[in-house]
């Protein structure tokens, strides 16, 4: 993956810090309705090792008030302008499904559009190509923006079996990536995100996570957004405040299986986990290796 002249791969995985410009994020630790609070979180994320910062102005779930495009812009544009001014080389990502919001944000030097809602606005990939940004292709099981999953099932020609969700994710991501490339987004700037929790039960999300290696065979860099999600909470019966260890376990598995970009609330811990996995796998050398070596 190449964004803003930087390359990310198995030996240099990318950590994408989450900055929510919302008062109602599902996790209380990332509610930055005030600009000063958001910029403070930005500085902490960069210091902790973030390569990309992803800002969003609308809560993903259906709880909370309706946020129109004007309000979304009011929330994200001042942050993006300040972030670009303070960190000129930082990769900036905008979490939006609206093409008009992405186009308006282009002036700050936007590097990536994180379309969490699987092409709901068909003009969004054209905007990404137009402004020279990358795009995240997601999978939501056909649900529209801000829809929580209810009674989700997957079935195909093989019947209603455990792997039907994996096949649906593979088809959806391959198709979405093709649309982005056809629109003019270079393949090296197209990320695929299986979008766990979105349009999926906890069992679906766990199954798709176990098949991260199958996603890698599509040939695009994989973004995994795992941080403190409900599939972690339901697996361990924990609320968002207590889901860090479960998140990091999922992160390590995804990294080992081929994901190279990780959207995270807990930047420092995620940075250390993905770097350690890359080192164990042999894609990244240790920072130093002196134990047991001959002494001078």
Other CB atoms within a 10 A radius of the CB of residue 239 amount to 9
Say how far apart CA 267 and CA 135 lie, in whole Å. 22
- In the 8-state DSSP scheme, what is residue 6? E
Task: Reply yes or no on whether 229 is catalytic.
Answer: yes
Give, for 223, the enclosing helix (H) or strand (E): strand 223-225
Among 31, 75, 103, 263, which one carries the catalytic annotation?
Answer: 263
DSSP states of 174-197: HHHHHHHHHHT--GGGEEEE--TT
Task: Using DSSP, state whether 291 is helix, strand or coil.
Answer: coil
Are 128 and 191 contacting, i.e. CB atoms less than 8 angstroms apart? no
Burial environment of residue 283 by CB neighbours within 10 A (0 to 12, 13 to 18, 19 or more): middle
Among 21, 103, 189, 229, which one carries the catalytic annotation?
Answer: 229
Say how far apart CA 68 and CA 58 lie, in whole Å. 9
Beta pairing, strands 6-7 & 2-3? antiparallel
What residues contact residue 36 under an 8 Å CB cut-off, 6+ apart?
Answer: none
Other CB atoms within a 10 A radius of the CB of residue 222 amount to 23
Alpha carbon dihedral 278, 281, 287, 289, in 10-degree steps, equals 170
Task: Reply yes or no on whether 272 is catalytic.
Answer: no
Other CB atoms within a 10 A radius of the CB of residue 18 amount to 26
Nearest CA-CA partner of 51 in 101, 16, 88, 6: 16
Q: What token pair was written down for 132? A: 């020279």
Q: Residues with catalytic annotation?
A: 229, 263
């Amino acid at each position: 993956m190449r964004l803003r002249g930087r390359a990310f791969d198995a030996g240099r995985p990318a950590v994408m810090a989450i900055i929510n410009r919302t008062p109602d994020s599902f996790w209380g630790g990332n509610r930055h309705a005030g600009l000063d609070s958001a910029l403070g979180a930005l500085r902490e994320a960069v210091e902790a090792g973030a390569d990309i910062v992803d800002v969003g102005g609308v809560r993903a779930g259906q709880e909370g008030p309706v946020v129109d495009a004007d309000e979304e812009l009011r929330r994200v544009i001042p942050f993006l302008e300040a972030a670009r001014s303070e960190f000129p080389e930082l990769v900036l990502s905008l979490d939006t499904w609206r093409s008009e919001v992405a186009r308006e944000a282009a002036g700050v030097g936007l590097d990536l559009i994180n379309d969490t809602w699987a092409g709901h606005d068909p003009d969004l990939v054209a905007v990404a190509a137009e402004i020279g940004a990358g795009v995240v292709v997601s999978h939501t099981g056909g649900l529209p923006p801000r829809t929580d999953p209810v009674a989700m099932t997957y079935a195909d020609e093989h019947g209603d079996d455990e792997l039907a969700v994996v096949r649906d994710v593979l088809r959806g991501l391959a198709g979405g990536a093709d649309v982005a490339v056809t629109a003019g987004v270079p393949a090296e700037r197209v990320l695929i995100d299986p979008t766990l929790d979105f349009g999926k039960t906890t069992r679906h999300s766990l199954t798709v996570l176990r098949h991260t290696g199958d996603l890698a065979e599509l040939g695009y860099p994989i973004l995994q957004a795992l941080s403190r999600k409900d599939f972690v909470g339901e697996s361990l019966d924990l609320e968002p405040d207590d889901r860090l260890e479960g998140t990091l376990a999922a992160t390590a598995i995804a990294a080992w299986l081929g994901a190279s970009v990780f959207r995270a609330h807990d930047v420092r811990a995620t940075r250390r986990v993905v770097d350690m996995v890359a080192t164990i796998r042999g894609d990244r050398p240790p920072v130093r290796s002196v134990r047991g070596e001959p002494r001078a």
